[in-house]
Amino acid sequence: MANDGEDLAQLAQWLDAYPNMYVDIDARISDLGRQPCSARRFFLKYQDRIMFGTDTAPNRAAYRMYCRFLETDDEYFDPAGGHHRRGFWMIYGVFLPKEVLEKLYVRNAERLLVGLKPAA
């Protein structure tokens, strides 16, 4: 999130100003999950320019936490179970539609990263 997941208005200005800019969610679910309504609107608006990414080592608990944040509308849960802590706050899920999740998880990377082929 361009190291600015807590200021989505600023990040939106950059994405609007720089049409070749893309971001990934990285280790920012702690920031995004504290502002779930704004984050959801942001994901919907910029769905073609956001990719899934993490700063954590591959680990099942971490991926489950990212999926819980992106795919559910769960409220007030602790992201530390599978994600390194960036604060001492709880987060909320953003419950993204299936077509947006598909772009975040797969389609945007296929389009942007050289050598990836779309799934059959």
Mean pLDDT (the chain, rounded): 90
- Only one residue has tokens 């296929």, namely 110
Q: 59 lies in a domain?
A: yes
Q: 3 lies in a domain?
A: no
- Render pLDDT for 39-83 as a digit per residue (tens, 0 to 9): 999 999 999 999 999 888 888 888 999 999 999 999 999 988 766
Q: How many domains does the chain have?
A: 1
In contact, 65 and 83? CB cutoff 8 Å:
yes
Q: 62 lies in a domain?
A: yes
Residue range(s) defining the domain that contains residue 74: 8-112
pLDDT at 85: 66
Q: 64 lies in a domain?
A: yes
pLDDT at 120: 58
Q: 119 lies in a domain?
A: no
Task: Give the global pTM.
Answer: 0.90
Residue 95 reports pLDDT greater than 90: yes
Q: 120 lies in a domain?
A: no
In contact, 59 and 31? CB cutoff 8 Å:
no
- Render pLDDT for 26-42 as a digit per residue (tens, 0 to 9): 888 989 999 999 999 99
Q: 2 lies in a domain?
A: no
Residue 55 to residues 3, 82, 83: CA-CA distances in angstroms?
12, 12, 9
